[in-house]
Structure 1
Amino acid sequence: MKIPKRIQPLVDDGLVDEVKSQLMSGKEASVYVVRCGETIRCAKVYKEASQRSFKQAVAYREGRKVRNSRRARAMEKGSGFGREQQEKVWQNAEVDALYKLADAGVRVPEPFGCFDGVLLMELVTDDEGYVAPRLNDVMMSEEQAVEDHHVMMQYVLKMLCVGIIHGDLSEFNVLVDDYGPVIIDLPQAVDAAANNNAERMLARDINNIRDYYAQFAPELSATQYAKEMWALYVKGELTPETQLTGEFNQVDTEADIAAILKEIDDARAEELSRRERLKEAKEGIDETKFNWADAE
């Protein structure tokens, strides 16, 4: 096929030998199957900011930092240079996350580098060499659903332990090869410690995956992994070895109505007393003025 303009520099530099086909085109990027020497890989071409349809990007960028102070100031001001740097940070977020998650034991495509907005990475295939299907295209038994759901919860746990939340995890961002689930699409990865939306995004990720697998194993619908995981995380008790149960008991303290009413009555009495003191003080001032007038 014709070589896309953004991939041409990689061909010129010998990083890519042939573009075989387009695999998909999404809201953030287009993905192509390419040949690099004797190896088949994929090239993810990130779309320019003006062409992306990804919504609420600001919520995902919150907490992302750059070490260079000049770049940071430019990004805050929104200058042309700043927008260019913001794009690089956005694109590199996926590369950084892929390396970090692979080291943490999470199955993700192996990255081979990002070159001017083009990410070269492993093409996930089955044993016959065909591109692995997305989770949403896979049918499975109840037993398989329970097993794969457990694997995914372990991956999310390991991600959180290294401070990363996918942010857009669903059955459309998971591939399934002969060895199980593989998590993909991480340019919107969220910093769990620095992003105010972290808890909400973690819950959405986990519940999306739960709801999909629950189609095949209805008992999964009752699990509470999101609440359990976040509670352990904020207490500093979450580790890669944590044995999750999927259960979460919310500790609710029963309201003491009598005590609340007493506090209200005490506050009302205090306010009435304050007003009475002010009234008496004012009357005292007025009386003093009257006496001075009589004296004159």
Structure 2
Amino acid sequence: MKTPKRIEPLVEDGLVDVVLRQLMSGKEATVYVVQCGDEIRCAKVYKEANQRGFHQAVHYTEGRKVKNSRSQRAMEKGSRYGRKEQESAWQRTEVDALYKLAAAGVRVPLPFGFYEGVLLMELVADEEGMPAPRLNDLSLTREQALEFHAMLIRQVVLMLCAGIIHGDLSEFNILVDAHGPVIIDLPQAVDAAANNNAPRMLDRDVENLANYFGQFAPELLTTQYAKEIWAIYQTGELLPDTPLTGKFSVSHKAADVYSVMREITTAQDDHEAKLRYQQIKRAEGR
């Protein structure tokens, strides 16, 4: 096929030999199958902001920072240059997330580089070497649904241990290769520690999984993995292999307000006594 204009620089630089075909076109990018030497890979070409169906909602971008202070100030002001930098930062979010998650052992496509709005990455393939299908295109047995759900919950935990929440996880951005689910599409990835919306994003991601797999295994519809995972994460004790039950109970025990106030009063008394002692010592010194 004719080489898309955005991929032409990669061909000129020898990073891509030939564009074989278009694989898919989504709300944020168009993905092509490309030949790179002996390897078949994907080239994800991000759409311009005015062409995307998915926009940079503030609840995704909260907590994101760029290293260049000039760019950060321009983005905050919303200048023309700032909007350009914001667009670049939006694209870089997926690239950075892929590198970080791949290093953490999360099943995501391996990235091979990012060039002027084009992400070169691994082609996720099925057992026959063809592009892997999306999860929503498969018909699952109850056993497969339970297995895939368990695998994805573990991937969600791995991501959170790496400090990242997908933010838009569903059956539409999960591929299934010969070894199981592979998570894709991460431009809206959320910084778990810096974004106040992180718990809600995690809850929605996990709820999407429960609702989809619950069609084949109804018992998954009543699980509460998100709340359980987040509660453990907040204690600082979440590990990639932390045992999970899918159950979560909220404590209804009344707070011991009297004890808390007593501790506060004691601390205040100690602080005031220390100040009085320091004043006396200064007076004696004179």
Relative to the length of structure 2, the TM-score reads 0.87
* Equivalent residues in 2 for 1:111-126, closer than 5 Å: 111-126=111-126
Cα deviation, residue 95, structure 1: 0.9
- Aligned equivalents of 2:124, 2:219: Cα separation in 1: 30
Question: What amino acid is aligned across from residue 126 of structure 1 in structure 2?
Answer: D
Structure 1 stretches (4+) deviating beyond 6 angstroms? none
Structure 1 residues 72-111: Cα deviation after superposition (integer angstroms, max 9, x where no partner) = 1111111122112111211111111111111111100010
- Aligned equivalents of 1:55, 1:72: Cα separation in 2: 19
2:159 aligned residue: 159
- Aligned equivalents of 1:56, 1:132: Cα separation in 2: 28
Question: What amino acid is aligned across from residue 96 of structure 1 in structure 2?
Answer: D
Structure 1 residues 153-177: Cα deviation after superposition (integer angstroms, max 9, x where no partner) = 0000010111100000000010001
Percent identity between the two aligned chains: 69
- Aligned equivalents of 2:139, 2:49: Cα separation in 1: 36
Structure 1 residue ranges without an equivalent (≥5)? 256-296
1:76 aligned residue: 76
| 2:238 matches 1:230 | no
1:63 aligned residue: 63
Question: What amino acid is aligned across from residue 10 of structure 2 in structure 1?
Answer: L
Cα deviation, residue 253, structure 1: 3.4
2:272 aligned residue: none
Structure 1 residues 169-222: Cα deviation after superposition (integer angstroms, max 9, x where no partner) = 000010001100000000110001111111111100001011111111111111
2:139 aligned residue: 139
Structure 1 residues 106-136: Cα deviation after superposition (integer angstroms, max 9, x where no partner) = 1000100110000000010112111100000
- Aligned equivalents of 1:16, 1:32: Cα separation in 2: 11
Structure 1 residues 36-81: Cα deviation after superposition (integer angstroms, max 9, x where no partner) = 1121111000011111111452221111111221111111111122
- Aligned equivalents of 1:80, 1:54: Cα separation in 2: 20
2:53 aligned residue: 53
Look up the SS of the partner of 2:45 in the other structure: strand
* Equivalent residues in 2 for 1:159-198, closer than 5 Å: 159-198=159-198
1:283 aligned residue: none
1:292 aligned residue: none
Look up the SS of the partner of 2:156 in the other structure: helix
Equivalent pair of 2:49/2:55 in contact (CA under 8 Å): no
Q: How many residues get paired?
A: 255
Look up the SS of the partner of 1:6 in the other structure: helix
Look up the SS of the partner of 1:50 in the other structure: helix
2:217 aligned residue: 217
- Aligned equivalents of 2:147, 2:168: Cα separation in 1: 22
Question: What amino acid is aligned across from residue 226 of structure 2 in structure 1?
Answer: A
Cα deviation, residue 228, structure 1: 0.3
1:21 aligned residue: 21
1:278 aligned residue: none
Look up the SS of the partner of 2:49 in the other structure: coil
- Aligned equivalents of 1:98, 1:130: Cα separation in 2: 22
- Aligned equivalents of 1:78, 1:104: Cα separation in 2: 34
Look up the SS of the partner of 2:50 in the other structure: coil
Which structure has the bigger radius of gyration?
1
Question: What amino acid is aligned across from residue 51 of structure 1 in structure 2?
Answer: Q
1:148 aligned residue: 148
Cα deviation, residue 3, structure 1: 0.9
Look up the SS of the partner of 1:246 in the other structure: coil
Equivalent pair of 2:191/2:198 in contact (CA under 8 Å): yes
Question: What amino acid is aligned across from residue 159 of structure 2 in structure 1?
Answer: M
Look up the SS of the partner of 2:41 in the other structure: strand
Q: What is the alpha-carbon root mean square deviation over aligned residues? A: 1.3
- Aligned equivalents of 1:235, 1:120: Cα separation in 2: 37
2:239 aligned residue: 239
- Aligned equivalents of 1:18, 1:219: Cα separation in 2: 48
1:286 aligned residue: none
Relative to the length of structure 1, the TM-score reads 0.84
- Aligned equivalents of 2:241, 2:213: Cα separation in 1: 23
- Aligned equivalents of 1:109, 1:254: Cα separation in 2: 47
1:199 aligned residue: 199
